[in-house]
Amino acid sequence: MRITAYRKAHFNAAHRLYRQDWDDKKNAAIFGKCNNPHYHGHNYDLTVGVTGDIDPETGYLIDLKILKDIIKKEVENALDHKNLNLEVPEFKELNPTVENIAVVIYNKIKRVLDERFELEITLYETPRNFVVYKG
């Protein structure tokens, strides 16, 4: 029986969207408020979905404590209250858009999650703007 379990999490982080190879005018035009040279924060809401088969012995898909610990270690410890551009190695050369953050989170969790599971990342940058990444 295929089923999906979800766990929600939250982190705050600062970022700035820009390209070094563009001038200030083009950066401001493309990235708007998120181009602020002094950085700014977002409250990110994350939902991690794990899909697989129910274990007939336990009745579990995944022990949600394991998923909770993975999210804590791979996402919250790595991103919460961080300046994504300056403090998170994955964004040294990568623009920390909500799209790219979702992909980075997916890759970090996928590395440590049992390979029998499919993974789905839903990431809200604002209450109305969000992305979904399934690999």
* Catalytic residue positions, numbered: 34, 81, 125
CB 18 → Ni ion: shortest distance, Å? Answer: 11
Closer to Ni ion at the Cβ: 34 or 48?
Answer: 34
User: Does 61 help bind Ni ion (rule: CB under 5 A)?
Assistant: no
Nearest-CB residue to Ni ion?
34
Q: Do residues 21 and 27 lie in contact, with contact meaning Cβ atoms separated by under 8 Å?
A: no
Closer to Ni ion at the Cβ: 34 or 102?
Answer: 34
Q: Which helix (H) or strand (E) holds 124?
A: strand 118-124
- Which of 34, 71, 105, 123 binds Ni ion (CB under 5 A)? It is 34
Q: Measure CA 51 to chain center.
A: 18
Q: How far apart are CA 59 and CA 47, in angstroms?
A: 22
CB 40 → Ni ion: shortest distance, Å? Answer: 6
Q: What does each C-alpha distance from 89 to 16, 84, 94, 124, 125 come to in angstroms?
A: 15, 8, 9, 21, 20
CB 28 → Ni ion: shortest distance, Å? Answer: 13
Residues that bind Ni ion (CB under 5 A): 34
